[in-house]
Amino acid sequence: MPELTDAQLDQLIKDIGLKRPRGGSQRKPIAHGTYNGYRQHVYRKEQACAECMEANRLYLRERYAKRRQGGGSQ
């Protein structure tokens, strides 16, 4: 587990405790288990959870697989 500074911990607690701003452009809930969720973890500079790591892995694998099969016309 990565070690957090007090400030980071405080921020985390605030993030969790805060209510979502309406139409929140900044703090959307993370869609865990999706590639987008993984990106959100990264964007927040935190370690992605296992679900998101897995989704990212599958996403990348699919992308490479598609490249191989698709002949690169897109």
Q: Distance between CA 15 and CA 57 in Å, rounded?
A: 27
User: In Å, what is the CA distance from 42 to each residue of 6, 31, 34, 35, 72?
Assistant: 20, 13, 13, 11, 28
Cβ 4 to Zn ion shortest distance, Å: 17
Considering only residues 36, 44, 46, 49, which one is a binding residue for Zn ion as defined by CB under 5 A? 49
| Angle (CA) 45 48 49, round 5° | 145
Binding region for Zn ion (CB under 5 A) out of 1-9, 13-21, 24-32, 59-67: 24-32
Binding region for Zn ion (CB under 5 A) out of 3-11, 13-21, 31-39, 63-71: 31-39
Cβ 70 to Zn ion shortest distance, Å: 29
